[in-house]
Structure 1
Amino acid sequence: MALSAKLVMRQGQALVMTPQLMQAIKLLQLSNLELASFIEEELERNPLLERAEEGPDPREHEPPAEPPATGDPVEADWTSDEFATDRGALEAGLGTELENSFDGERTGPAADPAGDMMGLSATSWTGAPPSAEGEGSNLERYVASLPSLHDHLAAQLLLAVTDPVDRLIGHSLIDAVDEAGYLSEPVEAVAERLGVSVASVEAVLAIVHTFEPTGVAARSLAECLTLQLKERDRFDPAMAALIGRLDLLARRDHAGLKRLCGVDDEDLADMVGEIRRLDPKPGRSYGGGPVQTVVPDVYVRSAPDGSWLIDLNTDVLPRVLVNQSYRARVTRGTASDADKSFVNNCLQTANWLTKSLEQRARTILKVSSEIVRQQDAFFAHGVQHLRPLNLKAVADAIGMHESTVSRVTSNKYMASPRGIFELKYFFTASIASTLDGASHSAEAVRFRIKQMIEAETPADVLSDDAIVARLKAANIDIARRTVAKYRESLRIPSSVERRREKSVMVLAGR
């Protein structure tokens, strides 16, 4: 057979991950803090982007009716199912493992918020009224910075030690103290690294053990508790025996502890209470940076007619505009082709970014509205009325892909009259009913188990089998191993350990 070259035309479909599309996908799963950081980087990179409050005339920032034809990317079809077909392209584009892919809003009846049909009124994110207090002052600028644990110990070292060698050893020990307040490096390793004797390091460590907070630089939990008990003059032989067998205390083996320490029930209860008042992590009061408060992305409030109003938090929505006047001045002059090409690329990027931010806001609002519609009983009556819900149910209701709902609910929070919850909190597994009734939410069942155990009396401590029986009487079909798993996730000890603890408390008269 002769070999020859020929041209063949074929027609096919393929998913092309443009940088703009990857950006739109990435913006969906960013939290409000990550989004603010991303916008800051874009403002520094793109000269045509600026903050909304910086613009002298809003009319200068009106986007053109049509983007420039030169080098325009093909508009993404947000209704296409092809976004869920090529996982490899998505992972290669984003550099992260994605379960599925992106599917934006669909047009038509499915895109209409379902809340209007169910008494929900979803406020448009662009039409939300500004805060009555305006921008307000940033209180964080008035908060005095707290000293770190390292600085606090170093300041005490300067007063307690005068010898230069001992100070060097002391600084090395302080550097080895972790955030919890424990010495993370063995004394022998410190001595070898500094070229000094182990005895010298032990002597300086004994001085560091006298610093505040008490128990700092301990090498184990037992040593940390011992240092605190010695300061309170409570480290007697019985307490020393108890500290030496913390494993029995963790198992709540009070009978073994009484034999070991030679005390009765009342004395053992006092000793255990004394240990509980100690701080097992003395360095945590200094810790690292300030605690970051969770800022909700969505507000849910009740309406006078009994429905729910869903508003986006406009304070966390980025306000960026495209400066059309600056672009016109640059391209109108004697700019080179390279400069004009750069400005056109910046314009395309800016227009796509503003569109992606608008798309992100609309998607968050739509998903949140559907969650509130599905979990209306939770907001009205509490966690016991939480319904089983999965991503597919929400995605089908609003006409989006499951992966889109998954990204929208990641690191997003909803503030409601019942508290602040991550959007993923409302997605729980389903537990079957013993009859042919409606299934139960796993979170609601977990809450029931917690309530049962909190209502226990010393004479009636519920075993896992007893909890299963009570739940089945309440029309909840659940296995014993599932009850044990839920109990352990709530950090509740077994019935044997709870019975031991309650008996000791009763004997101590508590």
Structure 2
Amino acid sequence: MALAPRLDLRQSQSLVMTPQLQQAIRLLALSNIEIEAYIASELEKNPLLELARGAAGTDTDSAPEPFADDDAPRPPTEAASDAMLRDGSVGSESPLDVDGAGDVRGDGEDAMAGAPSRGEGLGMDTMGASSGGFSEDGPDFENFASTGIGLHEHLMDQARLRFSGAELLIASQLIGQIDETGYLETELLPLAYALKVPLVQVEAVLAEIQTFDPVGVGARSLAECLALQAKEADRHDPAMAALLANLDLLAKGALPQLRRICGVDEEDLADMIRELRGYDPKPGLRFSANETQAVVPDIFITPQGKGWAIEINSATLPRVLINRSYYTELSGGVQDKTSKAWLSDCLASANWLVKALDQRQKTIVKVATEIVRCQEEFFRHGVAHLKPLTLRTVAEAIGMHESTISRVTSNKYLSCPRGLYELKYFFTSGIASSEGGEAVSAEAVKSRIKALIGAEDPAKILSDDTLVEMLRAEGFDLARRTVAKYRESIGIGSSVQRRRQKALAG
């Protein structure tokens, strides 16, 4: 084999995704709230972008039209899509699930696909497919949610009023070891050694902390937490103390044994159990510093005649425009090539963002329209009529790639007369019918299991085997392990656990 340099000619094909195409793909997976944050960052970087003033439909320009001149790159038109594909700017026929940039996958044409104006055969009017408007005068509901103070800050405020000097130092150390649920996570003896103070002093400080608000904070066990609350309610008598010392028997439902230990009759024991249920086993969570964010729907589904109106939620979607006058002003004063190139890049980026946002809305509406068409019985009659549906089914129906459907349905919520649902909720596996009929959705089976257990007689708790027989009688062909898995997934305990709970409730 000769070791000499040589020149070879090879031919290969590759898909190169431009930054603009990556941006369009990335926007598909974002919810309306995330889009708002993304647009805010783009507004800071691009001086030519601005938010439309006033509510949707009140602006004089009904649609954001990119501005272009002879010196700046013009935005792509629908007719130029194929040419851009050949030039390597945007892919319109090849699936965009190529891992070219490591974190972007999608479908070129799918990402830029338009939405049908009406669902054929179903009367679905796709309204609000444009990028919509944004009112700066509208209420910001996040401002109404008060974050408050955390549990540690709340306890330290009380400690400063009760302690001083060395005791305040001990209290701060103890409070620092209390978890978010309100329980003390450390042993007192090692802490006393570390602080070089007597153990009895640490115990005294802890006893004082256990009188702080919320009641039950600083406990080292569930029994101690409930005992502190019982003392506060003046219900901590010897019988209650005996009950709290035997919470394991209460969990097992050993009521006759508990009556003997506590020395009470059946009625008194029931009163004590009801008292315990009124206590808070995790008092610290009332001061959790975690912010609760309400789920905002991205799509509205409303009945309209014999079909459905599908509309993008424009209230949470800012409308982006290009400041033409500002571009003219800047371009008139540009002299050097660097500034001119920077201004052209800003205009091209703004054009692409406006177009990508508009096409994103059309794609979401297109996917939502197909979901409503496939699951129309659910919207009319409820979860029992939910049909099996896969991403591939929707992708083939609307001519998009499966990965594009996955992005569109991620972190998106749909609001309809039946409630608020994530788009992923409508994609469920199928359960074969025992009578050879059409398969049913797994969610429909879970709903039926929940209904059967909810209507069971407390004296005759339904076992998993009984549930299998009842479901097969209704046409659901399931194995016992499948019923148990579905039951656990909806948060329902076994027959033994339910029998114990109903005995305690009775």
1:85-121 deviation per Cα after TM superposition (whole angstroms, max 9, x unaligned): x34x35x245xxxxxx301445999964672332222
The aligned residue for residue 98 of structure 1 is none
State the AA in 1 paired with 2:93.
T
Q: What is the CA–CA distance in structure 1 between the aligned matches of 2:140 and 2:378, rounded to whole Å? A: 34
The aligned residue for residue 299 of structure 2 is 298
Structure-2 change in CA distance of 1:3 and 1:420 (3 Å): same
Aligned pair count reads: 491
Q: What is the CA–CA distance in structure 1 between the aligned matches of 2:442 and 2:414, rounded to whole Å? A: 20
Q: Residue 230 of structure 2 aligns to a residue in which SS?
A: helix
The aligned residue for residue 277 of structure 1 is 278
State the AA in 2 paired with 1:377.
E
Q: Shift of the alpha carbon at 1:156? A: 1.9
Instruction: Establish whether residue 155 from structure 1 lines up as the match of residue 157 from structure 2.
Output: yes
Tell whether the 8 Å contact from 2:129 to 2:311 is kept in structure 1 after alignment: yes
State the AA in 2 paired with 1:138.
D
Q: What is the CA–CA distance in structure 1 between the aligned matches of 2:399 and 2:67, rounded to whole Å? A: 30
The aligned residue for residue 97 of structure 1 is none
Q: Shift of the alpha carbon at 1:245? A: 3.6
Instruction: Establish whether residue 225 from structure 1 lines up as the match of residue 230 from structure 2.
Output: no
The aligned residue for residue 269 of structure 2 is 268
Structure-2 change in CA distance of 1:256 and 1:422 (3 Å): farther
Q: Residue 295 of structure 2 aligns to a residue in which SS?
A: coil
Structure-2 change in CA distance of 1:11 and 1:53 (3 Å): farther
The aligned residue for residue 394 of structure 1 is 394
Alignment match of 2:90 (pick from 48, 71, 76) = 76
Tell whether the 8 Å contact from 2:63 to 2:130 is kept in structure 1 after alignment: no
Tell whether the 8 Å contact from 1:254 to 1:500 is kept in structure 2 after alignment: no
Instruction: Establish whether residue 120 from structure 1 lines up as the match of residue 129 from structure 2.
Output: no
**What does 1:33-48 align with in structure 2 at a 5 Å threshold?**
33-48=33-48
**What does 1:205-220 align with in structure 2 at a 5 Å threshold?**
205-220=206-221
The aligned residue for residue 26 of structure 2 is 26
Q: Shift of the alpha carbon at 1:274? A: 1.8
Q: Shift of the alpha carbon at 1:470? A: 0.6
Q: Residue 118 of structure 1 aligns to a residue in which SS?
A: coil
Q: Shift of the alpha carbon at 1:243? A: 2.5
State the AA in 2 paired with 1:146.
G
Structure-2 change in CA distance of 1:464 and 1:244 (3 Å): same
The aligned residue for residue 491 of structure 1 is 491
Structure-2 change in CA distance of 1:194 and 1:48 (3 Å): farther
1:298-343 deviation per Cα after TM superposition (whole angstroms, max 9, x unaligned): 001111x231111000112221122233333323324322222222
Q: Shift of the alpha carbon at 1:126? A: 2.1
State the AA in 2 paired with 1:227.
L
Q: Shift of the alpha carbon at 1:478? A: 0.7
- Unaligned segments of structure 1, at least 5 residues: 95-100
1:208-253 deviation per Cα after TM superposition (whole angstroms, max 9, x unaligned): 1001110112222222112111222323344334333433433434
Q: Shift of the alpha carbon at 1:430? A: 0.8
Q: Shift of the alpha carbon at 1:451? A: 0.8
The aligned residue for residue 63 of structure 1 is 66
The aligned residue for residue 363 of structure 1 is 363
Q: What is the CA–CA distance in structure 1 between the aligned matches of 2:502 and 2:389, rounded to whole Å? A: 38
Tell whether the 8 Å contact from 1:50 to 1:321 is kept in structure 2 after alignment: yes
Instruction: Establish whether residue 286 from structure 1 lines up as the match of residue 291 from structure 2.
Output: no
Q: Residue 43 of structure 1 aligns to a residue in which SS?
A: helix
The aligned residue for residue 140 of structure 2 is 138
The aligned residue for residue 106 of structure 2 is 102
Q: What is the CA–CA distance in structure 1 between the aligned matches of 2:295 and 2:499, rounded to whole Å? A: 38
Q: What is the CA–CA distance in structure 1 between the aligned matches of 2:23 and 2:167, rounded to whole Å? A: 55
Q: What is the CA–CA distance in structure 1 between the aligned matches of 2:282 and 2:37, rounded to whole Å? A: 33
Q: What is the CA–CA distance in structure 2 between the aligned matches of 1:76 and 1:47, rounded to whole Å? A: 25
Q: Shift of the alpha carbon at 1:79? A: 2.7
Q: What is the CA–CA distance in structure 1 between the aligned matches of 2:196 and 2:339, rounded to whole Å? A: 62
Q: What is the CA–CA distance in structure 2 between the aligned matches of 1:139 and 1:288, rounded to whole Å? A: 18
Q: What is the CA–CA distance in structure 2 between the aligned matches of 1:61 and 1:115, rounded to whole Å? A: 26
Q: Shift of the alpha carbon at 1:35? A: 1.9
The aligned residue for residue 416 of structure 1 is 416
State the AA in 2 paired with 1:167.
L
State the AA in 2 paired with 1:26.
R
What is the RMSD computed on CA atoms of the aligned residues? 3.2
Tell whether the 8 Å contact from 1:388 to 1:427 is kept in structure 2 after alignment: yes
Q: Percent identity?
A: 49
The aligned residue for residue 183 of structure 1 is 184
Q: Residue 421 of structure 1 aligns to a residue in which SS?
A: strand
The aligned residue for residue 313 of structure 1 is 313
State the AA in 1 paired with 2:66.
P
Structure-2 change in CA distance of 1:311 and 1:63 (3 Å): same
Tell whether the 8 Å contact from 1:179 to 1:287 is kept in structure 2 after alignment: yes
TM-score normalised to structure 2 length: 0.87
Tell whether the 8 Å contact from 1:181 to 1:217 is kept in structure 2 after alignment: yes
State the AA in 1 paired with 2:407.
R
Q: What is the CA–CA distance in structure 2 between the aligned matches of 1:186 and 1:113, rounded to whole Å? A: 67
State the AA in 2 paired with 1:119.
G
Tell whether the 8 Å contact from 2:468 to 2:483 is kept in structure 1 after alignment: yes
State the AA in 1 paired with 2:91.
D
Structure-2 change in CA distance of 1:493 and 1:62 (3 Å): closer
**What does 1:226-245 align with in structure 2 at a 5 Å threshold?**
226-245=227-246
The aligned residue for residue 79 of structure 2 is none
Out of 18-27 and 200-209, give the one that drifted further.
18-27
The aligned residue for residue 452 of structure 1 is 452
Q: Residue 63 of structure 1 aligns to a residue in which SS?
A: coil
Q: Residue 50 of structure 2 aligns to a residue in which SS?
A: strand
Structure-2 change in CA distance of 1:436 and 1:395 (3 Å): same
Tell whether the 8 Å contact from 1:181 to 1:282 is kept in structure 2 after alignment: yes
Out of 368-377 and 245-254, give the one that drifted further.
245-254
1:399-457 deviation per Cα after TM superposition (whole angstroms, max 9, x unaligned): 11111111111111111101111111111111110011111111111111111111112
- Unaligned segments of structure 2, at least 5 residues: 76-83
State the AA in 2 paired with 1:436.
G
Structure-2 change in CA distance of 1:111 and 1:397 (3 Å): farther
Q: Shift of the alpha carbon at 1:175? A: 3.2
State the AA in 1 paired with 2:90.
A
Instruction: Establish whether residue 168 from structure 1 lines up as the match of residue 203 from structure 2.
Output: no
Q: Residue 53 of structure 2 aligns to a residue in which SS?
A: helix
Q: What is the CA–CA distance in structure 1 between the aligned matches of 2:301 and 2:429, rounded to whole Å? A: 24
